[in-house]
Amino acid sequence: MMDLKRVNDYMKRVEESEEVTFKPVGSKLKVGLDLGTAYIVLVVLDEEDNPIACEKRAASVLRDGIVVDYTGALAIVRELKEKLEQRLNGRELINCAIAMPAGTDSSVKTHSYVAEGAGFEVTNILDEPTAANSIYQIENGVVVDIGGGTTGLAILKDQKVVQIEDEPTGGTHVSLVLAGNYHISFAEAEIMKQDYSKHKEILPVVKAVVEKMASIVKKYVDPKEVDTIYLCGGTCCLTGIEKIFEKETGMKTIKPDNPFLVTPAGIAMNC
């Protein structure tokens, strides 16, 4: 079982590291770069995996896990790297790990080129749900990472990842449905969706999209073999998403207080 308190405490410190720069233990700094469909995030950990600093920016330089605007992606990663280096009193960040949705192998090179173009040396390449499990440390179960563009999953048996899958349907689809329903722009729908006070109202509107995400999990996971779903990714911030997952899949569904930065922090752990 995942120690939910440990995960919540750890993620709270990652969140704090967006505002506060913590003093690192040891000499090595580890960086995780999450090039996402909706956000680009850089997380810095010290050699004992304590969160030190984090920067993120909303961006639409990827589609379905693939970089569609290389120059745009490069400019943002450079900017975030420089911001972090300034916060670290000019200390250069060199090594970084990257991750991508499971099964998008063809774009591994582009992801690496973006990181290298921004001045990083790529030390490790992971898939997103496996990276998330570095935080969760689940022995048996399924880690489900719902980002902007896709729903990804990693099935774990006896601490080993035995299967990874990824399919389109993510937060972007949720926002499109909201935009259509309320006759507002996509940007306005994003703002509405990220307002926790609106979640109760919007959940019934986007229920079918969430059910589609749950059906992706159901398609690959045998409830006789796997009994618990562990959610992460920005879209899982939606209040009540776990209840829809439980109803659709019949599986116990767990999510931390803030599932948003789990994957980027997990990527950094593997640097």
Torsional sign, CA 84, 15, 233, 124: positive
Using alpha carbons, select from 165, 178, 254 the residue that is nearest to residue 213: 165
- By CB under 6 A, is residue 51 in contact with ligand ATP? no
Site string for ligand ATP, 52-91 (x = CB under 6 A): ----------x--x--------------------------
- By CB under 6 A, is residue 169 in contact with ligand ATP? no
Q: Which of 32, 51, 129, 149 binds ligand ATP (CB under 6 A)?
A: 149
Cβ–Cβ under 8 Å, residues 199 and 239: yes
- By CB under 6 A, is residue 144 in contact with ligand ATP? no
Q: Which of 24, 32, 36, 256 binds ligand ATP (CB under 6 A)?
A: 36
CB of 26 to ligand ATP, least distance (A): 28
Rounded CA separation 236/256 (Å) = 9
Rounded CA separation 93/90 (Å) = 9
Rounded CA separation 153/130 (Å) = 8
List Cα–Cα distances, 137 to 26, 158, 224, in angstroms: 24, 11, 21
Using alpha carbons, select from 104, 98, 108, 90 the residue that is nearest to residue 43: 98
- By CB under 6 A, is residue 173 in contact with ligand ATP? no
- By CB under 6 A, is residue 234 in contact with ligand ATP? yes
The piece of 22-30, 78-86, 110-118, 145-153 that touches ligand ATP (CB under 6 A) is 145-153
Determine the 3-state secondary structure of 173 from DSSP.
helix
Q: Which of 7, 11, 33, 38 binds ligand ATP (CB under 6 A)?
A: 38
* Contacting residues toward ligand ATP, per CB under 6 A: 34, 36-39, 62, 65, 101, 128, 147-150, 170-172, 190, 193-194, 233-235, 237-238, 260, 263
